[in-house]
Amino acid sequence: WTVPDLIEDIELPEIEGLQSHPSPEVGEYRQVKLRWTDKRLALAARSQPYGTQDNRRIMQAGRPDDTEALEVIEGVLTLSDLKRRLAARHLGYDVETGADILRVPLIVGKDATLRLTTGDVLQLSREDGAFVVNFGKLEIISGEIVATSRFEGETREFAPFIATVGSGTVRLSDATLRDLGFGFTAKYAGFSILAHTTMQPGDRNFLDNSRFDGLVAVALVGVKHAEVRGNRFFDMRRNPLLVSQSPNAVVEGNLFSGNTPTNAVRVANGSSDTRLIRNIVLEGARAGLLVSSGSDGVLVSGNLIWRRNGGGIKLHHVRCGRVQRNAILDDKQKGVEIRTSPDSVSYTHLRAH
């Protein structure tokens, strides 16, 4: 078997209550207010809880000594708004793909929304140091955000990223994100949602029916009740999905494929009562699903894990974990491994080589 053989006709499990989110009504749009600001302000908000690692690489990206960033103060910003308001110096056009290329960092304020819908393709220019930091709402409904160039393997050099911080919330549905992220931290992983002690979100985060291709990782850090359902993760450069300090997450019906260097899903650092249900994990290194570091009461059920260059499922230093009715096929190490995890149980699995 090969990965294309397995996924050619694959259908992810139907998930009760999962629907693609409809495009917003026109009446929701408010007058958009924009201003120029300093990109160092957005970096500072993440440096307080998450440190300064890789910040210098962001400052060195783009034009020398240019700290300019575009901030959306309020209203709903669309790609059409960007086209109308930005000069070619800040928003270019790719004649080969027809995509619009953002050449400046974009900051979404706490009272603002960035919204991409069907047919919208926004490229973030690696050469110009473009990125998106969201303190408000990020809504991508059948739209795309991609980097202008692709990395092979992990890299420490700058690449565009999308980070939602503190008060920000995310709703992805049928979206595509490609080739984002750099370094080894969650804050620049490609697509990250990061809590902040002084900024609380007003809503939950939903990632559904979307495609993540060639990112470093999708990282949820300090986020409660996030839902990650029905997505496809391809050729991620680190662990495709990190759930850290994020209790009560639901990770259901996702497909993870490609030769990733580490765990497909990593639930860590007190992400208790998370549910890993009916996911499909194909190939990659180490355990497919890892639950660790005080993430107690996690349910791992109904997952299919195939041909891992490591184990299938691992629980490490957790309590009261439940691992049940998973199919683990042709992996090279243990099917289910439970270590230093009192009151955890494992039963009724299909295991084959």
Each residue's pLDDT tens digit, 89-116 = 788 888 887 789 999 999 999 999 999 9
Whether residue 4 is predicted with pLDDT greater than 80 in this model: the reply is: no
The C-alpha atoms of residue 175 and residue 187 are separated, in whole angstroms, by: 20
**Do the Cβ atoms of 162 and 131 come closer than 8 Å?**
yes
Whether residue 9 is predicted with pLDDT greater than 90 in this model: the reply is: no
Q: If you average pLDDT over residues 305-317, what whole number do you get?
A: 95
Q: How far from 97 is each of 123, 148, 182, 278, CA to CA, in Å?
A: 10, 11, 24, 36
Whether residue 15 is predicted with pLDDT greater than 60 in this model: the reply is: no
* pLDDT higher at 26 or 324: 324
Whether residue 8 is predicted with pLDDT greater than 60 in this model: the reply is: no
Among the ranges given (87-96, 136-145, 283-292), the one the predictor scored with the smallest mean pLDDT? 87-96
Residues 6+ away with beta carbon under 8 Å from 322: 298, 299, 300, 301, 344, 345
Among the ranges given (126-140, 142-156, 210-224, 316-330), the one the predictor scored with the smallest mean pLDDT? 142-156
Each residue's pLDDT tens digit, 21-46 = 444 443 445 689 999 999 988 888 77
Which pLDDT score is estimated for 16? Answer: 52
150 confidence band (pLDDT: 50, 70, 90): confident
Which pLDDT score is estimated for 179? Answer: 96
Q: Which of 186, 192, 190, 191 is nearest to 158 (CA)?
A: 190
Which pLDDT score is estimated for 53? Answer: 82
**Assigned token pair, 164:** 């939602």
